[in-house]
Amino acid sequence: MGVGIQVEKLNAWFSKTQALRDINITMAANHCTAVIGPSGCGKSTFVRCLNRMHETIPNARAEGRVRIGELDVYNGTSAVAIRRRIGMVFQKPNPFPTMSIYDNVAAGLKLNGFHERKRLDEIVERSLQLSALWDEVKDTLRKKSGASLSGGQQQRLCIARAIAVQPEVLLMDEPCSALDPISTGKIEELIFQLKERFTIVIVTHNMQQASRVAEFTGFFLLGELIEFDKTEKIFTTPSDKRTEDYITGRFG
Amino acid sequence: MRSRFHQGLDELRARLLRMGGMAEQAVDRACQAYIERDLARCHMVLEGETQINIAEREIDEQAFDLLAMQQPMAVDLRFILAVTKINSDLERVGDQAVNIAERVMDMAELPKADLPVDIARMAAAVSAMVRRSLESFIEGKAELAQAVLEMDNVVDRMKDEAFITLVKTMNDHPEVTRQALDALLVARNLERVADHATNIAEDVIFWVRGADVRHNAGPEEPLPATQQAATDRR
């Protein structure tokens, strides 16, 4: 099951440039939260701070409090342990090109020392079913490489790989920006179903997508969280004029 | 530079204003026709209805295109929804004007009767409501629209009073029953026009404030962002 996410006074920097300023936000378990905002507003940095990916960039650092369920992300928990509980899907599908479809999904589990064949088979099948890819690949699981799939299938494979390790949170950084409308529709449908099991945070430039998949939406601008509310409120009657101007295309 | 979408919204607004002007003129002409028993004005109202109907379809088509092609959000979405509803109300205002004009044409065949009701005063109040509801749309001001809502109670009272007076007249003077019935129906048509003006005002409040005040839901506190955004859209 998913867990809630609490962020308090989160600040992040790239060298001396501050990318996030005093972000406070609480994201509900088993719901999808969309993060929107113009390029450079800090939305990707924000999600990368949730699983401590931000600190992997040289001279980048973050301060503040992030709680994923009972885990304190920046106090006493290793980055590896954090990332085990938080799956991430990126803009561009990135399956391991030399691995089969099966091995792509099983990679995370194997890396964690899980090698029981029968159980692995079950988890791979279940993960591919959850990611709505099973029917399309079940006959070629071990024959075809992940890279041989279409873009949309590759992204669903990456989702299967992320959920195979049974995380509690799934971060998605513009997961559909490289996909056609049909593949996008499949991923969005998937997000809707995956919410039952995971807490989802999605970064998107596509406001229609945010309104379709997320119950809550946060609008970022210049490293600040300007507004956070129910998605329908944000897209119909936002409280802050900057949000209104952005979503109606008056800037950004 | 304004985007094509915002130009489209400006165009939609201009079309609705033109239609508003036609509907307002139709009501004024019909009322004047009633007061002066002027058949020429009645014919002008009937002829004008075609233009109003054409305008209604064009506005709906453009609003539909904008919704489908531009996927508007927030104040723009509320604006287009409000325009489609105001459009429908204006078309019905035009219908009521036609009803009044037809009633006047019917009355022209009857001897003139001195009825104890002030239809002209009611017509003036209703015309003012239509005009102010359209002004609130032009200005994007919820305060103006709010004032229209308050005027509706006055018109409702006028209609109720006219009803009581005219029924009594029909009882006391059966020889003017047809004239009194015509006047009663005109009062009812005017009250309907006032209801449409009220709907228009409610739609303006929805557009500007993002608040649904229909069915006595009560005015909500204006949201600074939405209020400002609607003001900017003017």
Structural domains present in chain B: 4-233 (1.20.58.220)
Q: What is the pLDDT of residues A132-169, one digit of tens each?
A: 999 999 999 999 999 999 999 999 999 999 999 999 99
Query: Could you tell me the pLDDT band of residue A170, with boundaries at 50, 70 and 90?
Result: very high
Cβ <8 Å between A244 and B5:
no
Is residue A107 one of the residues assigned to a domain? no
What residue numbers bound the domain in which A221 lies? 5-96+166-247
What domain count does chain A have?
1
Q: What strand order describes the sheet that includes A169-173?
A: A86-89, A169-173, A199-203, A32-36, A216-221, A224-230
Q: What is the pLDDT of residues A39-83, one digit of tens each?
A: 999 999 999 999 999 999 999 999 999 999 989 999 888 988 898
What's the token pair of residue A15?
């060298």
Is residue A201 one of the residues assigned to a domain? yes
- Rounded to an integer, what is the distance from CA A116 to the centroid of its chain? 28
Assess whether pLDDT exceeds 80 at residue B232: no
* Percentage of chain B lying above the pLDDT 90 cut: 81
More confident site: A183 or B87: B87
Q: What is the pLDDT of residues B194-224, one digit of tens each?
A: 999 999 999 999 999 988 888 776 555 545 5
Interchain contact A245–B (C-beta under 8 A): yes
Query: Could you tell me the pLDDT band of residue A12, with boundaries at 50, 70 and 90?
Result: very high
* Rounded CA separation B108/B114 (Å): 14
Query: Could you tell me the pLDDT band of residue B1, with boundaries at 50, 70 and 90?
Result: very low
- Taking residues B131-141, report their average pLDDT: 95
- Taking residues B130-158, report their average pLDDT: 95
Of A207, A235, A238, the CB nearest to B225: A238
| Amino acid A183: pLDDT | 86
Distance separating the N- and C-terminal Cα atoms of chain B = 16
Is residue A159 one of the residues assigned to a domain? no
| Amino acid B230: pLDDT | 60
Residues 6+ apart with CB under 8 A from A120: A106, A109, A110, A114
Identity of the residue numbered B144? L
Q: What is the pLDDT of residues B11-48, one digit of tens each?
A: 999 999 999 999 999 999 999 999 999 999 999 999 99
| Amino acid B76: pLDDT | 94
What's the token pair of residue B170?
């029909």
Q: What is the pLDDT of residues B150-200, one digit of tens each?
A: 999 999 999 999 999 999 999 999 999 999 999 999 999 999 999 999 999
DSSP assignment of B93-141, as one string? HHHHHHHHHHHHHHHTTSPP---S--HHHHHHHHHHHHHHHHHHHHHT-
A154-213 residues touching B, CB cutoff 8 A: 207-208, 211
| Amino acid B211: pLDDT | 83
Is residue A65 one of the residues assigned to a domain? yes
Contacts of B6 in chain A (CB under 8 A): 249
Q: Tell me how crowded residue A231 is: count the other CB atoms within 10 A of its CB.
A: 21
Is residue A154 one of the residues assigned to a domain? no
Cβ <8 Å between B210 and A237:
yes
Q: What is the 3-state secondary structure (H, E, C) of A157-182?
A: HHHHHHHHCCCCEEEEECCCCCCCHH
Contacts of A211 in chain B (CB under 8 A): 73
Cβ <8 Å between A238 and B71:
no
Are A153 and A147 contacting, i.e. CB atoms less than 8 angstroms apart?
Answer: no
Measure A148 CA to nearest chain B CA, in Å: 35
Is residue A189 one of the residues assigned to a domain? yes
Sign, Cα dihedral of A81, A86, A87, A92? negative
Among A86-90, A100-104, B69-73, B125-129, which stretch is predicted with the lowest mean pLDDT? B69-73
Is residue A139 one of the residues assigned to a domain? no
* Rounded CA separation A89/A195 (Å): 15
ipTM of the complex: 0.70
Is residue A103 one of the residues assigned to a domain? no
Q: What is the pLDDT of residues A108-136, one digit of tens each?
A: 999 888 889 999 999 999 999 999 999 99
- Taking residues B110-131, report their average pLDDT: 93
B contact set with A (CB within 8 A): 3, 5-6, 71-78, 210, 223-226, 228-229, 232
Q: Which helix (H) or strand (E) holds B47?
A: helix B39-70
